[in-house]
Amino acid sequence: MTALDTSVIVRYLVGDDAAQAAAARALMDRTTPDDPGFICREVAIEVAWVLERSYRLTRARVAAALMDLTASDSLVVEDSDDVAAAAYRYGQGGPGFSDLMILSAAERAGAAPLCTFDGRLAQTAGAALVEHTTRDASPRRTPTIKAGARQS
């Protein structure tokens, strides 16, 4: 099994750099069910981000590309069910793909709800908004984090 980086997947999907796209296609063509390419969760997240932000692809096109990767019999996508479910939800609108991957991981772990300050994510089934009040209107303060400190 050969691990594939974001840059290889993006060049394979987009083909904007002819030499790199040809090399990516050749590499992908060598993957088989017996010797597959491996795409980790983090690469899937980066691919979604790059396609949306750098290439301005629609959510529907990004979602379709991710679902095609998970459906390939010559690729092993880490937690492919999470990636496919998050890609489907992402294509429907709402939270970003990375937030949906976090939600999928929480669901897989049986951890519910996913507590968040992100209002958009909190509107998704399985997530909940953490209520808070603003004490003052002063500029943001840099939080103090103590190494190894744990609050109960």
pLDDT in tens, the chain (152 residues): 999 999 999 999 999 999 999 999 999 999 999 999 999 999 999 999 999 999 999 999 999 999 999 999 999 999 999 999 999 999 999 899 999 999 999 999 999 999 999 999 999 989 999 987 776 555 666 655 555 544 44
Note whether 106 and 112 are within 8 A (CB). Answer: yes
Domain assignment of residue 18, given as a range: 2-95
pTM above 0.85, yes or no: no
Is 15 contained in some domain? yes
Neighbours of 82 (CB within 10 A): 21
Is 132 contained in some domain? no
Is 150 contained in some domain? no
How many separate domains does the chain show? 1
